Amino acid sequence: MLSNATVVLALLSVAVLVAPRAALADASVPGCTVRLVSVDARNVPTFRGECEWNVAPVWVTAVLTDPIRLNESSSMLEDSRRLADGRIVNLQKTGWPFEDRQSTVAVMDEPLPNGGVRRSYRLADEQAPVAEGTVQVAVDEGRWEIAASPNGTRVVLEMTYEPGGNLPTRIVQSMSPKYIAKGLDELRVSAEKLAGESPGLPGVAAGPPSSR
């Protein structure tokens, strides 16, 4: 007898196969669009999100670069914590019937004017131990650019991602833009909330020291 997880996976696969490709490759939320831009020789997809937000870059940077704030802003992160050596461990909610995913990334930040940042990230050479029932992410790399624009902030995210485990590639490619767009919108909401709570606070981009 097939398990419930197997049945759900089969139904998702059918839904993806019969849906129009254009409907699967793009997603949008207010101020943002996300699309699948390429699939490399490993069959790993790269996605690109572009946003224009009416909030200053310093507030977006303050959320993005602090694992505690980022974790609190995201419904798709179970946990995000900075290790003593600077690596960041992200535990990502995948949702039933799939296991959660974990990646340990190395990040490099380059400050930009007006509180912006250019952040690149990749899987660290050494991955943190993965708990039972959680899957190690196979590919997790990309870059963020948080830059000042006439309207406030322009955000560009490019990410190459392969979740590992038994998720069919077609489902990853088709469903990821929707979840990336949701994550970007949650980042915007959190940045706007922080700006409203702490107007003019000097040095906020650095955020409080991450303690977990």
Q: Domain of 100: which CATH number?
A: 3.30.530.20
Q: Which residues sit opposite 35 in a β-bridge?
A: 26, 48
- Tokens, residue 201: 């606070």
Tokens at residue 166, please? 């038994």
- Note down the domain range covering 132: 23-198
Q: How many residues does the chain have?
A: 212
Does any domain span residue 126?
yes
| Number of domains present in the structure of the chain | 1
pLDDT of residue 200: 61
The token pair at 73 is 């802003």
Domain assignment of residue 204, yes or no:
no
d(CA 95, CA 100): 7
Q: How far is CA 37 from CA 12, 48, 166, in A?
A: 22, 7, 23
The pLDDT tens digits along the chain (212 residues) read: 433 333 333 333 333 333 344 445 699 999 999 999 999 999 999 999 999 999 999 999 999 999 999 999 999 999 999 999 999 999 998 877 789 999 999 999 999 988 899 999 999 999 999 999 999 999 999 999 999 999 999 999 999 999 999 888 888 888 899 999 999 999 999 999 999 987 665 444 434 434 43
Amino acid identity of 155?
V
Within 10 angstroms of residue 165's Cβ, the number of other Cβ atoms is: 14
pLDDT at 183: 96
Q: Is residue 203 a part of any domain in this protein?
A: no
In a domain, 80, yes or no: yes
Within-domain flag for 9: no
- Predicted TM-score (pTM) of the model is 0.82
pLDDT at 41: 93
Q: What does the pLDDT read at residue 95?
A: 76
Taking a C-beta distance cutoff of 8 angstroms, is the pair 160, 39 a contact? no
- Considering the domain boundaries, does residue 7 fall inside one? no
What span, in angstroms and rounded, lies between the C-alpha atoms of 174 and 35?
Answer: 10
CA distance 123 to 141: 6
Contact (CB, 8 A) for 176 and 45: yes
